[in-house]
Structure 1
Amino acid sequence: MTDAATHARTDALLDEELRLLDAYWRAANYLSAGQIYLLDNPLLREPLKPSDIKPRLLGHWGTSPGLNFCYAHLNRVIRARDQDMIYIMGPGHGGPSAVANAWLEGTYSEVYPEVSQDEAGMARLFRQFSFPGGVPSHVAPETPGSIHEGGELGYSLAHAFGAAFDNPDLVVACIVGDGEAETGPLATSWHSNKFLDPAGDGAVLPILHLNGYKIANPTVLARIPEAELVALFEGYGYRPYLVSGDDPAVMHARMAEALDLAMDEIADIQATARRGGRDGVRPRWPMIILRTPKGWTGPREVDGLPVEGTWRSHQVPLAGVRDNPAHLAQLEKWLRSYRPEELFDEIGRPVPQVRAQAPQGDRRMSANPHANGGLLLHPLVLPDFRDYAVPVDEPGTTFSEPTRVLGSMLRDVVARNPDNFRIMGPDETASNRLGAVFEVTDRVWEAERLPTDEHLASSGQVMEVLSEHLCQGWLEGYLLTGRHGLFNSYEAFIHIVDAMFNQHAKWLKVTRHLPWRRPIASLNYLLSSHVWRQDHNGFTHQDPGFLDVVMNKKPEIIRVYLPPDANTLLSVADHCLRSRDYVNVVVAGKQPVLNWLPMDEAVVHCARGIGIWEWASTDAGADPDVVLACAGDVPTLETLAAVDLLRRHLPEIRVRVVNVVDLMRLQPDTEHPHGLSDREFDSLFTTDKPIIFAFHGYPYLIHRLTYRRNGHANLHVRGYKEEGTTTTPFDMVMLNDLDRFHLVMDVIDRIPALRGRAGHVRQHMMDERFRHRAYTREYGQDPADINEWVWPY
């Protein structure tokens, strides 16, 4: 079979092999249906009665038989080839299938001994599914062998490729549902084959499962002409093999042949590349297009309406079974059609012939160590971040570009960890000033290369594609299989992956309570090109709201860092790269900013996460009149400039400057592991003095974090309030009332003793705002007193 798309049509299995394969499939189907319906009587030792049925029927049958079919056949491949393989289930709510196969393989009972491989264990297996206190209906973290949670569609293929990168012996079988294939992230993910290096990476075998329907509607790819379908995937660069039908005997033979062809082709592609025989030609990786009826082997008709092969089989084909004797009888007939007495012995254990269809030990997809990546995780070999320190003899007198400084450190992280660290980003690694990494690596690129291209190669540790979804999915798959990485992005557009971040954070939250799941490397976001330095790109690029999304997740998972300069960024980055089971969000600028702290002080300040900057404060030995707090590089700059103005115009005012690096420190210690106790918070901010807080993001987030603090009534927050345009950097902060002049006005307005006698100063601050606004409108840039300001003390 040499055609790009080939219908598998010959008998590839002996009759006995076919019989055993079908027996395993029937067992998995029986267990899948049993989880949806049965509360008791798991092996149908007695006729079904209403009390055997769950009171609430939840779950999704329609996709389960196809998933089980693929699983059974992939097990055959693993056994025949001793293949290292994991299985990703993209179709939504494929949980019954994943759990059924893990139990058949014995892994489920190893992980959860109470769910034993016998009749009592089967009863517990059935009862727990979609049941209070049990397990979800999708492929959740609780399911052995899973790295992909199927509750939200679109990410399976990106996860699969992420798992394959730097895993040369691994094949990732990814079942893509035809409903899922309609999502934007999945449609983009087909292009991942342009980033897979056959010499150094593993392989992904996509299996597009066309069962024709979503919840209530047909699917696009199942309803287009076959020639168009084939042309689509040939256009993506794949070699599709088509397997279609509804006769199990015929379909087993076809699927076996297609898989053998695909696996042979993968082996040939990799062997050719690994002996240097590619000649720069991008391989055409195989994929399988599997077309089966939705709800295959389930009820063909219910109440006179077709079910198998229609949308009606998507969830629960037979509803109201407890109250409808006809449905109860039909359910029993359906379950008995799998002939469970042939599949399970007298104690309820799968018979030896069925158990023998599963691979052994770590070769079981439900027990593969890659699907529990913490088992394979090795710490990064990190350089000493202090070696990249920017000299700071006096605070606030010299400038550097923080992310450019970090880039030098990341260059050496890349060099020291050539096969377990990658940087993902949507075409912005150089733009975000991390270009030093290209001194030691290239961007991965398997498509055509031209002489004018720079830093493109078949292998590399930087991955760029203009899809935040794809970057996030690749990195998640990479982390979940035991490696490390960093995602750098423009701050405004990281919102594109809000939902993906949510799912990963939920995954981490659940796995923390599963002792058999080992910790994985943290998901690290570096958000640069941020809201206050997107003045040239305008309103569309100005949005710090990802921090608000992040703060909705469980406190033990989330960390948010706002380092104010280069040395604090180096310290924060080192901490994040060493951490486990977190989502770390680091917001740092790429434009020149003042250097505030020498490295030794930066390390201490980052370890504290929050602290008084004594060198900038004027309240030593006395209570402050006002607390000026800041979080973020631009807010820190404006706060310190405001302190300068206060010293010059109102020198009698005692000012305390508090800088926040770790945003979570603002929460109470009862709410977050990094939180401050009330006593610590009060010692920094006081309980009765005005607090003017200059914040990088939306002001209400600070109020949300501190609303129960003693001094909250005195807290006034300045931040981004959705005012933006194409303008100058200083005009941006003025538009949002975060500028130094407005901060001084806030101080005057909130210290009662100043309201009368500081009127002239307040008016002067207003005049300065007008003057600077007028200057930008005439000259198109900020005046020198802004651009050249340094800390004068």
Structure 2
Amino acid sequence: MRETSPELSLTSRELDLIHRYWQAANYLSVGQIYLLDNALLREPLQAKHIKPRLLGHWGTTPGLNFIYVHLNRLIKAHDLNVIYVCGPGHGGPGMVANTYLEGSYSEIYPDITRDSDGIAKLFRQFSFPGGIPSHAAPETPGSIHEGGELGYALAHAYGAALDNPDLIVACVVGDGEAETGPLAAAWHSNKFLNPQHDGAVLPILHLNGYKIANPTVLGRMTNEEVKNLFLGYGYEPLFVEGDEPAPMHRMMSETLETALDRIRHIQRPAREGRATDRRPQWPVIVLRSPKGWTGPREVDGLKVAGFWRSHQVPITNPRGSPEHRKLLEQWLRSYQPERLFDSEGRLHPELQALAPTGNRRMGANPHANGGLLRRELELPDYRDYAIDVSFPGGSRAKATRHAGKFLRDVVRLNRDASNFRIVGPDETASNRLDAVFEATDRVWMESIEPYDIHLANDGRVMEVLSEHLCQGWLEGYLLTGRHGLFSCYEAFIHIVDSMFNQHAKWLKVARELPWRRPVASLNYLLTSHVWRQDHNGFSHQDPGFVDLVANKKAHIVRIYLAPDANTLLWVVDHCLRTYDRINVIVAGKQQAPQWLTIEQAATHCAAGIGIWTWAGSRIAEGEPDVVMACAGDVPTLETLAAVDLLRKALPELKIRVVNVVDLMTLQPKSQHPHGLDDREYEVIFTRDRPVIFAYHGYPYLIHRLTYKRSNHDHMHVHGFEEEGTTTTPFDMAVLNRLDRFHLAINVIDRVPGLSITAAHIRQQFRDKLIEHARYVREHGEDMPEIQQWSWPYKTAAEAGD
């Protein structure tokens, strides 16, 4: 750390004011956990003044409050644009207390007035039925980070800083959180932050030594070990350590000045065109303070402050125990509330003057309510990238290849706005989106060798082999008002299941808060999917992410299964226009038949589901004998191939083909806004005819979505059955009974009378399966008739239109 200049040292008066402001935040934090009434202790504390259920977390809170007041001082001194990302789990009491003190809380929630009555309401609502959660939730002003689950704070912070050159994101990382895998990887985000056009992240590692019932790993490491760890990560560590408030206040204010100086020293030359080839060494502050700082040292003769017993509620029974109640009152009065709040319960003016004003308050910063800053993407016309489809199956293409060309021009059109990024785990090219590299490169702040390809300091594609980082970066980017796309192998998107859960919950709550403005949707493009793993094995085969997604609130999630390139173009364009949603798009990257013209695709996708009249049998009068439904590119291919087999073998059979793009249309309209009403559903699927449904994922999901429908008993779903490893594309389908022959056999088994009259046809299909098994194991590829199959009906007359 540099030598401190005299002008950076706090005067005695500044020190007193900062300390009292910190006491005010601590008092309000303790009051939220414990008090139901008598908010400012204007009378002796009684049992009736205490909540019957004590919920909340004290241990981390005084450190969070300490950081907040010193960030306020820094913001005011330098007119800074700062947001606060609170990583330590349930730090909600501190975040609520500080936004209340600065005034932003009461502006959003006018009933929580800035007086005694307001403080009483503030206390009562915390972790109380009908109130607010105990963590820094969407309800908390200034928050972009749900504190209910650990590990994501730092990735969110870096995502927020990207393309925000004037923003500093102060990110507090608890030492419990620092033990998680996502957080450990997130320290490497500094290799992707460009000081020329990105903001800065100031990580503050808060080491208070303990988690819920154990010491923390980093908390027990020596300063030398911690220093070496962060030097290895590429940071400059600055230490603040102690338990005496006065010297700690002085050290923290001086260290924050040093950190700001370092940030400016990095950014200034980069923005003046004087950047060096060396990656910047950004500062990180390591704050060691006691867990439960300023709280009771002992309770019932047991150590509390500076130990894990202060993690949640240090004094456990003040309502029922006079001794505990006396201890709680002593603790609250130790903050001297009469020196903090006037007779009306308002913060004393000299303390109020410490807080920033307007949008400089961290609780009112518009970057923490990103919808206020969101600008619509400029999108090209998706129809300009369409595949020419002269008749169904008459063209072949790689669907994601054409989506990549569309995304290339999304990047081009929005480069000046700097509000669109693509993230993914080293798979942009593998997923056939490499056309984007005609417009941009991968961002890379490490050294770049002459032979490297598509690496640059200012790239718009972010690739790292951590799905956690990709998800966290994109969430932070979206929540601060920008747009993006996450491309990933289908099987490995499961790595972020829990992060998806948290973001879905955030969106669900945020949509119910009128002051939270809509943010751009989180868009997943899942490819390299389960049915085409020609060189990968069983480990790469899992289509179950959509099952998780389907559990979430209907107004949050959408699932799209594109059967070909033109439908994928429509879906990607549509998803990039939406907000406050999570869109999951599943599409193949392999060469495959193309079924619909761009006009047909637009009509089909807008409806989300439709009867493909050109694919059904020629006999159109009356209801069909069987409905053959499909969702997904390979299921669509195999369904149409099965229809071809049946039309040739059983020309009198009346077949209806239904394709599903928007999976949520299968639910009743009462459950999902995209769902079909019962009448529409029955028109498509009939009331009582067998439905052979070829589905991309696990069959159970289709049953779950349709179980209330009138003909659910006639729904027979083929999908992934956890079979198959490295094998041919068609063999993957056969092993899971999703292939054309199994589908055709099931039709014969399910249509009344066919099991007898068409027994010989069934046997022919069974023989083909035996022939396939023999051939693929001898030749290592699919039979020529499988590889060369194409939809044979090229005119409307042939197709039966």
Q: State the match for 1:320 in structure 2.
A: 317
Distance 2:5 2:87 in 1: 24
Q: 1:323 to 1:10 in 2, by over 3 A?
A: farther
In structure 2, distance between residues paired with 1:347 and 1:511: 33
User: What is the identity, as a one-letter code, of the residue corresponding to 1:520?
Assistant: V
| Counterpart AA for 2:328 | L
Q: Tell me the equivalent position of 1:763.
A: 763
Distance 2:732 2:36 in 1: 62
Check if 1:376 corresponds to 2:373: yes
- Tell me the distance in 1 between the aligned counterparts of 2:716 and 2:5: 70
Partner of 1:146, secondary structure, is coil
Equivalence for 2:737: 737
Deviation at 1:667, TM superposition (A): 0.1
- Residue 8 and residue 321 in structure 1: after superposition, are their counterparts in 2 closer, same or farther (change >3 A)? farther
- The code of the aligned residue for 2:69 comes to A
The CA deviation string for residues 660-715 of structure 1, in whole angstroms up to 9 with x for no partner, is: 00000000000000000000000000011000000000000000000010010100
Q: Residue 779 of structure 1 aligns to which amino acid in structure 2?
A: H
Q: Distance in 2 between matches of 1:526 and 1:753?
A: 43
SS of 2:275's equivalent in the other structure is coil
The residue correspondences of 1:391-430 to structure 2 (distance < 5 A) are: 391-418=388-415, 419-430=418-429
Q: How does 1:466-545 map to 2 (within 5 A)?
A: 466-545=465-544
Is the contact made by 1:438 and 1:455 (CA closer than 8 Å) also made in structure 2? Answer: yes
Would you say 1:783 and 2:783 are equivalent positions?
yes
| Pairwise CA distance, 1:9 | 12
Residues 4, 254 of structure 2: 8 Å contact kept: no
Asked if 2 retains the 8 angstrom alpha-carbon contact of 1:90 and 1:154, the reply is yes
Give how far 1:753 is off.
1.5
TM-aligned CA deviation for residue 352 of structure 1? 0.7
Q: Deviations over 1:113-165 (max 9, x none)?
A: 11111111100000000001110001000001000001000000000000000
Cα distance in 2 between the residues matched to 1:407 and 1:79: 46
Q: Does 1:437 align with 2:440?
A: no
Match for 1:661: what amino acid?
Answer: V
Q: What amino acid is the match of 1:518?
A: R
> What TM-score, normalized by structure 1, do the two folds share?
0.99
Letter in 2 for 1:680: E
CA distance in 1, matches of 2:601, 2:380: 17
SS of 1:531's equivalent in the other structure is coil
1:289 counterpart SS class:
strand
Match of 1:616, SS state, is: coil
One-letter identity of the residue aligned with 1:542: Q
Alignment of 1:703-718 (within 5 A): 703-718=703-718
Q: Per the alignment, in what secondary structure is the counterpart of residue 716 of structure 1? A: strand
Which residue pairs with 1:196 in the alignment? 193
Q: Deviations over 1:413-455 (max 9, x none)?
A: 0011120000000000000000000011010111121122101
Three-state SS of the structure 2 residue aligned to 1:283 is coil
Q: Provide the residue aligned with 1:156 in structure 2.
A: 153
Q: Provide the rounded CA distance (Å) in 1 between the counterparts of 2:299 and 2:357.
A: 40
Structure 2 counterpart of 1:218: 215
- Could you tell me how far apart the structure 1 residues matched to 2:677 and 2:632 are? 23
The corresponding residue for 1:647 is 647
> Is the CA contact 2:8–2:257 (under 8 Å) kept in the aligned structure 1?
no
Cα contact 2:86–2:145 (8 A) shared by 1: yes
- Judge conservation of contact 2:477–2:483 (CA < 8 Å) in 1: yes
Secondary structure, in 3 states, of the residue corresponding to 2:693?
strand
Q: Secondary structure at the match of 2:504?
A: helix
How far apart, in 2, do the equivalents of 1:432 and 1:108 lie?
Answer: 45
The answer as to whether partners of 2:567 and 2:601 remain within 8 angstroms in 1 is yes
CA contact (8 A) 1:207 1:288 kept: yes
Q: Which residue in the other structure is 2:97 paired with?
A: 100
Kept after mapping to 2: 8 A contact 1:8/1:241: no
1:387 and 2:348 are equivalent in the alignment: no
In structure 2, relative to structure 1, the CA distance for the partners of 1:7 and 1:64 (3 Å cut) is farther
Q: Name the residue aligned to 1:34.
A: 31
Deviations, residues 724-747 of structure 1 (Å, cap 9, x unaligned):
211000000000000000000000
Counterparts of 1:621 and 1:103, CA distance in 2 = 70
Say which SS state the counterpart of residue 733 (structure 1) adopts. helix
Tell me which of 344, 348, 372 is aligned to 1:347.
Answer: 344
> Within the alignment, does 1:60 sit opposite 2:57 as a pair?
yes
Find the counterpart in structure 2 of residue 144 from structure 1.
141
Give 2:576's aligned amino acid: L
1:671 aligned residue: 671
Is 1:728 aligned to 2:749, yes or no? no
- Answering whether residue 168 of structure 2 is matched by residue 171 of structure 1, we say yes
Q: Greater shift after overlay, 768-777 or 25-34?
A: 768-777
CA distance in 1, matches of 2:649, 2:225: 74
- Secondary structure at 1:532 match in 2: coil
Alpha-carbon deviation of 1:459?
Answer: 1.1
Look up the equivalent residue of 1:363 and give its one-letter code. R
In 2, Cα distance between the equivalents of 1:732 and 1:7?
A: 68
Mapped partners of 2:579, 2:454: distance in 1 = 31
User: What do the CA deviations read for 1:284-317 (whole angstroms, capped 9, x no partner)?
Assistant: 0001000000000000111111111000100000
Offset of residue 774 of structure 1: 1.2
Matches of 2:163 and 2:175, distance apart in 1: 28
Query: Is 1:82 aligned to residue 79 of structure 2?
Result: yes
User: What CA distance in whole angstroms lies between the structure 2 residues aligned with 1:332 and 1:381?
Assistant: 59
Q: Distance in 1 between matches of 2:670 and 2:451?
A: 57
Tell me what 2:332 maps to: 335
Equivalent in the alignment of 1:569? 568
Residue 68 to residue 402, structure 1, CA distance change in 2 (3 Å)? same
Distance 2:773 2:678 in 1: 41
Q: Which residue of 1 aligns with 2:602?
A: 603
**1:278 corresponds to 2:265:** no
Which letter maps to 1:162?
G
C-alpha distance 7-96 of structure 1, shift in aligned 2 (>3 A)? farther
Offset from partner CA, 1:57-105 (integer Å, 9 cap, x none) = 1100000000000000000110011000000000010000010011001
Structure 1 pair 616–230 and aligned structure 2 pair: CA distance change class (3 A)? same
Separation (CA, whole Å) in 2 of partners of 1:157 and 1:9: 33
8 Å CA contact retained: 2:207, 2:218: yes
CA distance in 2, matches of 1:140, 1:257: 31
Counterpart code for 2:387: V
Match of 2:285 in 1: 288
Q: TM-score, normalised by structure 2?
A: 0.98
- 2:320 is paired with a residue whose SS is coil
Pick closer, same or farther for the CA change 1:549–1:9 going to 2, 3 Å. farther
Shift of 1:593: 1.0
The one-letter amino acid of 1:240's match is: P
Whole-angstrom distance in 2 between the partners of 1:535 and 1:495: 21
Partners of 2:487 and 2:436 lie apart in 1 by 13
CA contact (8 A) 2:538 2:725 kept: yes
Which whole-Å CA distance do the structure 2 matches of 1:496 and 1:413 have between them? 28
Unaligned runs of 5+ in 1: none
Moved more, 767-776 or 607-616: 767-776
Question: What is residue 702 of structure 1 aligned with on the other side?
Answer: 702
Could you say what secondary structure the match of 1:615 adopts? coil
Structure 1 letter corresponding to 2:249: H
Counterpart secondary structure, 1:487: strand
What is the alpha-carbon distance in structure 2 between the residues aligned to residue 219 and residue 756 of structure 1? 70
Shift of 1:279: 2.3
CA deviation profile, 1:183-212 (whole Å, cap 9, x unmatched): 000000000000000001000000000000
User: Residue 261 of structure 2: which of 260, 264, 267 is its match?
Assistant: 264
Post-superposition Cα deviations, 1:608-645, rounded to whole Å, max 9, x if no partner, equal 00000010012423210000000000000000000000
Alignment partner of 2:702: what SS? helix
Describe the SS at the equivalent of 2:240: strand
1:679-690, aligned counterparts within 5 Å? 679-690=679-690
* Separation in 2, partners of 1:385, 1:605: 15
Counterpart AA for 2:245: P
For the residue of structure 2 that corresponds to 1:533, the secondary structure is: coil
State the partner residue of 2:131. 134
Q: Equivalent residues in 2 for 1:623-642 (5 A)?
A: 623-642=623-642
Q: Which one of 162, 182, 185 corresponds to residue 185 of structure 1?
A: 182
Does the aligned pair in 1 maintain the 2:161–2:168 contact within 8 Å? yes
The alpha-carbon distance between structure 1 residues 218 and 9, as it changes in their structure 2 partners (threshold 3 A), is farther
